[in-house]
Amino acid sequence: MQTKTSKSALFPYVLWIALFVIAPIALVVYYSLLDIHGNFTLDNYKAFFTSVYLKMTLSSFWYAFLITFFTLLVSYPTAYFLTKTKYKQLWLLLIIIPSWINLLLKTYAFIGIFGLYGPLNAFIEVFGFDPKQMLFTDISFVFVSVYIFIPFMILPIFNSLDRLNPALIYAARDLGASAFTTFRRVILPLTMDGVKSGIQVVFIPALSLFMITRLIAGNRVITLGTAIEQQFLVTQNWGMGSTIAVFLILFMVIIMLITGQKKDKGGRVR
Amino acid sequence: MKKLSASARVYLAIVFIVLYAPIFYLIFYSFNSGGTMNSFESFTLEHYKAVFEDSRLLVILINTVIVALLSALISTIIGTLGAIGIVTVKDSKMRNTLLSLNNVLIVSPDVIIGASFLILFTMIGIKLGFASVLLAHVAFSVPIVVLMVLPKLLEMNKSLIDAALDLGATKKDVMMRVILPYIQPGIFAGFFLALTYSLDDFAVTFFVTGNGFSTLSVEIYSMARAGISLTVNAISGLVFFVTVIVVVGYYFITSRANKRTGGTQ
Amino acid sequence: MKQLIQATIAILVVSALLFYAADALSAGGGKSGKDTLTIFNWGEYIDPDLLKQFEKETGIHVIYETFDSNEAMMTKIQQGGTAYDIAVPSEYMIEKMKEENLLVPLDKTKIPNFKNIDPYFLDLPFDDDNKYSVPYFWGTVGVVYNPELVGNLDFSSWEDLWDPSLKRKVFLVDGAREVIGMGLNSLGYSLNSLNNEELREATDKLITMAPNVKAIIGDEITPLMVNNEASVALTWSGQAADMLSENEDLDFAVPKEGSNLWFDNMVIPKTSKNIDGAHAFINFMLKAESGAKNADYVGYSTPNIAAMQLMDKEVVSDQRFYPSEEQRKTLEVYKNLGPDYLGKYNELFLEFKMSIR
């Protein structure tokens, strides 16, 4: 299939990469080597390896992991059940629609819903419990982040599940496999590509969350994104901001390599 | 089709309730005469009226939708072609490099994307406004399309292509009649996620817009300082209802057509 | 394949229709020149009626854009790309913009209503002699609190924020200068301090306050305080005014050790293509009627004495938002710290943020 047509199909995409990926990366790397006055320096990179930034990196990874884990946990069964409904494409779209309402608005809604004197706590009080502090906790932060990322995880998994040949499942059950084994040995491996896409599209952006860390976590959670936004906007220290960005890109590459596509054994490109 | 068990239905119901809770909260308060989302005073339609009287806000809303639709469309085309191209690359190192490059924009914080695009556009000399915003939205949506189309391409059984070629199909036929239909769910997934990215974006849009062009997100974020007026709730409510109606309507029309042509699934 | 083509066509058709609708709705293009004026302002910071009034009186078409942070605004102006005629930066940003030669000097002969401004607010260090800017709104940084939830504390002193009874009950705004400045003020130092020891002391003291901090947030602080999500908040007087108008239980105080006096001023950026129109707009906004109407709508404190005569007596004599001259002596205006110290303040702030668990 490696022909002239497929090469020319690649053209607009390659152009996009050159303009909007390589050029910005070059810019970012260039700026990372400048200090706040515009002189060349490696100080930014040195500064990254201090405890503040290393703690931040660990914190970012930890939360990104939690968010991705819970998103996957919620999304997979949802996607699975959706494929079994009668109007699955419709339900799928209905799942995505809430994500089209502006994030800040939804956050204000959550502030209302989760508030100390909000409807959720009022509901809990009916059952005799004390109002709980829901906003500005780790839990609410992960919850809202998962909320935001769900459509991104459900879609690729749904697509994978949808194409799954039910005959394979029947065959496994016929051969005596339990539901769990069937899932582990048949369904999961065959939908792995969808799962991997979902993970990439959730974990990687979760590393640099900024808006939600402020809006929901009240800056009790600090990610690399917090630092970057601060450097770029407030301190106008594009140098340090770019340095952190460079590291983010490096982390992304590493994650890609870990979750990426494996080479097929022979013949066809996999 | 196997029917859903009761527990499965409950699970889905919970997921839907949670997903829609904030939306209904917003719409609930759009009818509030109180002016904020803090306490409900009395029912009123004044905010909906205000939407139609505020031509600036309406224009912003329309601009937002146009940018979202077009950027999603264009990025879906570029992304789909890109995904097809990537899959045909034989050298795995090259492929991984392309994939890594693809994902750079997904991992980059919006501020950096916005700032670097702004520099880029100013260097090239693109005037800030609709064009720059559209370009920027296309740019950051392409990777997600690729990531949605790619799994479908990888799942595809290559023997389908071989069979088609054997039966005398031209390369164009293979593309139009074998590959594209197979990856269609991926294409639609990519399109809808691109829409989401575009509608939700604030930071990048803010940096690359100008000359009076604005989107709903930029408007809303700017309002936050002094309080978001309920007119925004009303607009969101309207958009929401229109979207649901369009989606449901479109679905039933096309499923009628599909029923007639039969087929599995 | 057919579905794809159908979908594509549908999208293009809808887009075209919407495009015509938008065109019909907007009363003119985004061209700049003699008969348009592009204004760049904070969100919800002007009465839209005033814009319409200005358009009617002068025939100039107004294009209005908003921003949510000074820095983002400056980046946009620096890059060019849009011919902003008017911008409304905060005082420290004006200093920066002056240094970067981003401002057009004002021609006072075109702004006769300049005399309406309280002289106290003129000739300030960030723009001596008001060569480049005219005050728009002003305010302070202080403490909003709910007296019913904080016992005897009245926040006449910053020390009240450290009171152990406030565990996890305090909101802080997400601003390095506001928070570190407050730390400095509580120790009796200037909030423009460039002294490393003072800064270290202030940060360490702030870290002892960390257990009281519930969250460090942005503009969403307003609905949160209105909902009594926290009992105390360190915030700007403008937002305090918004909160108080929605939640009658709340009160606002500016501690006696000193605090920040902030300004948002109108300037004409170098990008302007309609300098005459810009002057006309500034003069229009300085009218007593415009100032009063705007202050009523936005709710912040106006520097326009003539406007204050037209406003509700209760509002302009409220010492919390229109502090007396005596009180104003303890207030300091932010000076530009320079890039190094700006960086340092933010680093310390980041350190403080990470100490909140």
Residues C251, C191 within the same domain: yes
> Does residue C31 surpass a pLDDT of 60?
no
Amino acid at B6: A
pLDDT by residue (tens digit) across C66-107? 888 888 888 889 877 788 999 999 998 999 899 999 999 999
Q: DSSP of C235-273, one letter per residue?
A: EEHHHHHHHHHH-TT-EEE--TT-EEEEEEEEE-BTT-S
CA-CA distance, C97 to C100, in Å (whole number)? 5
> Does residue A10 surpass a pLDDT of 90?
no
> Does residue C262 surpass a pLDDT of 80?
yes
Can you give the pLDDT at residue C34?
A: 61
Can you give the pLDDT at residue A194?
A: 87
Mean pLDDT of C216-224: 87
- Mean pLDDT by groups of 10 residues along chain B of 265 residues: 77 93 91 79 87 85 93 94 86 84 83 84 84 93 91 81 82 80 87 90 86 85 76 87 84 69 48
List of chain C residues whose C-beta atoms are within 8 Å of the C-beta of residue A107 = 220
CA-CA distance, C252 to C240, in Å (whole number)? 7
List of chain B residues whose C-beta atoms are within 8 Å of the C-beta of residue A256 = 96, 99-100, 103
Q: Which among A97, A147, A236 is the top mutation candidate for probing chain B, defined by the most B β-carbons within 10 Å of its own β-carbon?
A: A97
Amino acid at A121: N
CB contact under 8 A, C216 and A36: no
> Does residue A267 surpass a pLDDT of 70?
no
Can you give the pLDDT at residue C254?
A: 94
Can you give the pLDDT at residue A269?
A: 35
**Which domain CATH number covers C123?**
3.40.190.10
List of chain A residues whose C-beta atoms are within 8 Å of the C-beta of residue C346 = 230-231, 234-235, 237
Q: What is the pTM of this model?
A: 0.84
CA-CA distance, B71 to B187, in Å (whole number)? 14
Can you give the pLDDT at residue A4?
A: 57
Q: Which among B29, B219, B225, B229 is the top mutation candidate for probing chain C, defined by the most C β-carbons within 10 Å of its own β-carbon?
A: B225
List, in sequence order, the alpha helices (H) in B89-129.
Answer: 92-107, 110-124
List of chain C residues whose C-beta atoms are within 8 Å of the C-beta of residue B218 = 66
> Does residue A74 surpass a pLDDT of 80?
yes
Question: How many domains would you assign to chain B?
Answer: 1
In a domain, B165, yes or no: yes
CB pairs under 8 A between A and C: 86
CB pairs under 8 A between A and B: 278
CB contact under 8 A, B184 and C42: no
Residues C206, C286 within the same domain: no
In a domain, B12, yes or no: no
Confidence of residue A266 (pLDDT cuts 50, 70, 90): very low
Confidence of residue C287 (pLDDT cuts 50, 70, 90): very high
List of chain B residues whose C-beta atoms are within 8 Å of the C-beta of residue C21 = 62
For the ranges A18-22, A187-191, B87-91, C28-32, the lowest mean pLDDT is seen at: C28-32
Question: How many domains would you assign to chain C?
Answer: 2
> Does residue C17 surpass a pLDDT of 60?
yes
Amino acid at B157: N
CA distances from C9 to A93, A120, B134, B236, C200 (A): 20, 45, 18, 26, 63
Chain A, nearest residue to C356 by Cα? A220
Chain B, nearest residue to A2 by Cα? B88
- Print the domain residue range for C249: 139-261+324-354
In a domain, B213, yes or no: yes
Can you give the pLDDT at residue A51?
A: 79
- Print the domain residue range for B108: 55-226
Please name the residues in contact with C311: beta carbons below 8 A apart, sequence gap of 6 or more.
C292, C295, C296, C302
In a domain, C268, yes or no: yes
Can you give the pLDDT at residue B260?
A: 57
Can you give the pLDDT at residue A264?
A: 41
Which two structure tokens, joined as six digits, stand for C161? 């924020």
- Shortest CA distance to B59 belongs to which of B153, B151, B129, B7? B129
CB contact under 8 A, A219 and C217: yes
pLDDT by residue (tens digit) across C232-258? 999 999 889 989 988 999 999 999 999
Can you give the pLDDT at residue A6?
A: 58
Task: State percent of chain C over pLDDT 90.
Answer: 63
pLDDT by residue (tens digit) across A35-55? 877 788 888 888 888 878 888
CB contact under 8 A, C81 and B229: no
CA distances from C87 to A258, C82, C264, C278 (A): 49, 12, 10, 10
Residues C200, C292 within the same domain: no
In a domain, C39, yes or no: yes
Specify which residues C172 forms β-bridges with.
C216, C234
For the ranges A76-90, A232-246, C120-134, C207-221, the lowest mean pLDDT is seen at: A232-246
If one compares A225 and A63, the residue with the highest pLDDT of the two is A63
pLDDT by residue (tens digit) across A123-179? 888 888 888 888 888 888 999 999 999 988 999 899 888 888 888 888 888 888 888
* Cβ proximity of C202 and C180 under 8 Å: yes
pLDDT by residue (tens digit) across C133-188? 999 999 999 999 999 999 899 999 999 999 999 999 999 998 899 999 999 999 99
Q: Which of residues 104-133 of A touch C (CB under 8 A)?
A: 107-108, 111-112, 115-118, 133
Task: State percent of chain A over pLDDT 90.
Answer: 14
- Shortest CA distance to C37 belongs to which of C264, C265, C284? C284
Amino acid at C123: D
Can you give the pLDDT at residue B85?
A: 87
CB contact under 8 A, C25 and B59: yes
ipTM of the complex: 0.83
**Which domain CATH number covers B167?**
1.10.3720.10
CATH topology of domain A51-235: MetI-like fold (1.10.3720)
Can you give the pLDDT at residue A263?
A: 42
CA-CA distance, B198 to B144, in Å (whole number)? 11
CB contact under 8 A, C43 and B70: no
Its sign, for the CA torsion B66, B67, B68, B69, is positive
Confidence of residue C29 (pLDDT cuts 50, 70, 90): very low
